[in-house]
Every structure is written in C-alpha cells, then in structure tokens.
Amino acid sequence: MFDCLPFFHLDNNELLALFQDSQPNVNLSATQLNSLLADLSNSDLYNNLKNENLSIENFNQNLSTQEFDLRCLHINIHSLNAKLDDFIQLIASLDVCFDVICLTEVWSTNLQFHACVLQDYNFYYDLPKSSIVGGVGIFINKSIQCKIRNDLYIKSNLNNMIENLWFEISKSGSKFIIGCIYRHPNSCVADFIKLLETTLSKINKRKLPCVLMADMNMDILKVCSSSSVRDYINCLVSNNFLPTLLLPTRVTCTSSTLIDHICFLNNTHNVKTKICCGNILSDISDHYPNFWLLKINKYIDMSNRPHTRVFSPKNKDDFNQKLNHMDWYTIFNNTTDVNLCYDYFINQLTIIYNQCFPLVRISRKAYKNKSWFTKQLRHLLYEKNSLFRNWRKSADEKDRLIYITFKKKYNNTCRLSKITYYKNVLDVKASSTKNIWTI
C-alpha cells in the first residue's frame, strides 16, 4: 500500500537531497561546462574537444571528407517502428559512413522485423521487460569485428528500469568498448549510480578505450544546482569517463536540456586525440541526433565498401581502340594448338579489360543511398529541416504551421517516390525474377 506513495523508495539522505535540488536551477553553457569538466578531470581532452550544432547540409560539407578512426551516432528514436522511414532517410542523407549507430527508446513494437533495414549493419537490441516503452538497439557495421560483453550488463531492479548493450569491437587492430544505455525517468538516481559504478570500474581496469552513448534522463547542465547530477558526474570522472557532448540535446520552445550523454574513456592518454561531437539539427524525434567522431594520431582506413567497374563512354572507347590495335596475328602465329590460342586470347582480353575498366571502390554516398531516395527528396529534406530550425529558433506559431505544412508535403512525396520505385521493380513484365530477389 505504502509503495504507491511518491517518496516511498527514498531514504532520508535521498529525500534531503531532493529538497536541496529544489532550489532555483542554474544551467551552465557549453563553455562553462567544458571548463568545469576540464578542472574536475584535469584532462587535456577538453582542449581538443569540438562541439557543434550542424544542419545535415553543414554536417556533410564540414565532416564527410575528413578522416576519422571511429564514427558513432546516437539517436533517441522514440519508437523505431513509428520512425522507420525517417530513420532510413536520415542515414541515407548523411555522407559519413558510421561504424556504430546507437538507438535509445527503440520501443518493442515490431522490432524483430527491422533487423535488416540497414543492409550493411548487424542489429542488436535489449528490450524492456514490463512495457513496450524504452529499450536500446545498436547497428554495428559488418566490416567491424565485434563480440557482446555480457559481463558488463547492468540488470534492472524495482527502483531502476534500465536497458543496455555492451560490445567489444575491433577496427584495424584497435579495440574499443561500445556501450548504449537507456535509463527510464522517475527512478532512483542514487541506486542507478551504484549499478553504473560497478560496470564502469570493470571497464576502467581493462584499459580499453570506451564510448558510452546513453539517454540517462539527467540534465548535466544542472551539475551546479543538483546534487544527484553532481554525484553522477563524479561517478563518471572517478572512473575516467569524460562527458564529451556538451550542448543541449532536447530543445523545445520552453526548455533545453542535456539528457543524452556521450562519454569517452581514453586510458592511452594520447594528447593528439581529437573528438568532434555535437547535434544534427533534425526533427526525427524530440531529441537531436548526436554524432561523435574520433581522430587519433593517425588515420586507419577501415572502409570496407565493395568495388565496382565504371563503364563510361570514355572507358568503352578506350577498350575498343585497344582491341583494334592489338596484333592478334603475332599472338596466334607461334602455335597451332587451339587451347593455347584460346588461353592467349583470354589473357590479352583480360589485361585490356582490367586496364580500361579497373576496379574502383564505390563511394560512401552511392554505397548506402536508397534508390527511391532521390536528389530531389534530399533537397526537400534539407528544406524541411531548415523550416524546423526556424520554428525552434523563433517559437512563432506561423513558423510552426509553415513547417507542419511542408512536412506533410515532404512525407507524401517520399511515400509516392517509394511506391513508384517498388512498383517498377516488382513489375514482373519489366524486371526478371533474379532482379526482384536482389531488392
């Protein structure tokens, strides 16, 4: 009966801390938070840390051509089933090929059917036990070796509902631990910190670098006014986990909070390590997607994109010219054995073919682009997100209506494009059965 009361699960110290936290909130700016964490951790990492809010266009322009050793993306998706098309369109519009994509609040609705939505990734998830809300999922690029770390798993209890996944990945000889956590709101912070401490201390002892991406439902901008947030930050820093995302991740017309966290453990203490981190200004959910890009002292090219041959008119002309100038008489005149002649012919033809149509690695953009997601749709997506940013900035009702109207137009255009594309592909009169099975 008493467990229905709002403060039943709190002891005296936690209840006192709750009332202490009721003082007026003081939100730090990103610069102030950077300085505070630098002083608290005594780490040089914050000297090379870069935080930015970027539109999709600026993200592609500024970061797609740069070389990074590890590329991570975190999104509070607020139901993958409901936002599936938006998620696919967002990934297709980004010109950076992420190694790891972490999703929080995936919800459990139809999740087992969405494992293949990104064909170049393996999908793993941990779902809530008592409801459909919550849950985490991780897409890991198939080019990366990984193994699940069940020894780091944080178990939920009556006071804390937690979903989490932990992996150890290998990329060009470098190993990282990747963690993804969703902590349900309105649970005991002190109890959660104890559970988190156990896992973080294990990782800290292993001396492997670790990236932790999470929706903790704790606003670390309130570190100066909330004792529970201070205890959480102290837990992170004492285990050498440093918060690297310092900009608000959930912004409304009335509030801005930093409840999506990306923390980095770097036991190598490499002063040349640089991190580019921030938000992508997108309306996929009420949280901004968060990117995290790591550059160490040297670039390790881990791209595993397939190769292709370019059959351009220029290459075809070059191929025809070389065939016409080939002295076949000299090649075949030295033997009367038909098998040897055939071998000579195939060898020469193969050499010319490889010279004129060499294997080249397919571009990141072409590799992951969806056939129905056209250039026109990409430009419409840019415009939609621009209207979204204008509304968030002005908080004006007129701007909101303009954004909502355009969003409906964009969604209808996407739906029509997808229907038209698959209708043509599945047309058995125009497509062979073999082509249909490659969809």
Q: Are residues 181 and 291 in the same domain?
A: yes
CB 161 within 8 A of CB 134: yes
Q: Are residues 234 and 380 in the same domain?
A: no
Q: Cα-atom radius of gyration of the chain, to the nearest Å?
A: 27
Count up the domains in the chain and report the number. 3
- Write the pLDDT tens digit of every residue in 329-342: 777 777 778 888 88
- Write the pLDDT tens digit of every residue in 130-171: 889 999 999 999 999 999 999 999 998 888 899 999 999 998
Q: Are residues 100 and 190 in the same domain?
A: yes
This prediction's pTM: 0.73
* Over residues 60-75, mean pLDDT: 93
Q: Are residues 91 and 148 in the same domain?
A: yes
Q: Is residue 135 part of a domain?
A: yes
Q: Are residues 106 and 142 in the same domain?
A: yes
- Write the pLDDT tens digit of every residue in 165-216: 999 999 877 899 999 999 999 889 999 999 999 999 999 988 899 999 999 9
Question: Which residues have CB under 8 Å from 105's CB, separation 6+?
Answer: 76, 77, 78, 79, 133, 134, 135, 182, 215, 285
CATH number of domain containing 202: 3.60.10.10
Q: Is residue 170 part of a domain?
A: yes
Q: Which domain holds residue 99?
A: 9-295
* Over residues 49-66, mean pLDDT: 93
Nearest-angstrom CA–CA distance, 177 and 189:
24
* Over residues 73-81, mean pLDDT: 96
pLDDT band at 22 (very low <50, low <70, confident <90, very high): very low
Q: Are residues 151 and 210 in the same domain?
A: yes
CB 175 within 8 A of CB 169: yes
Q: Are residues 350 and 415 in the same domain?
A: no
End position of a domain, from candidates 295, 316, 331: 295
Alpha-carbon dihedral sign for residues 323, 327, 328, 331: negative
Q: Are residues 234 and 335 in the same domain?
A: no
Half-sphere exposure of 341 (CA within 13 A, CB side): 10
Q: Are residues 47 and 90 in the same domain?
A: yes
Q: Are residues 398 and 313 in the same domain?
A: no
Q: What percent of the chain clears pLDDT 90, i.e. is strictly above it?
A: 46
Q: Token pair of 198, please?
A: 């156990």
Q: Is residue 324 part of a domain?
A: yes
Q: Are residues 202 and 234 in the same domain?
A: yes
Q: Residue 196, exposed/middle/buried by CB under 10 A (0-12, 13-18, 19+)? A: buried
pLDDT (0 to 100) of residue 140: 96
Q: Are residues 33 and 68 in the same domain?
A: yes
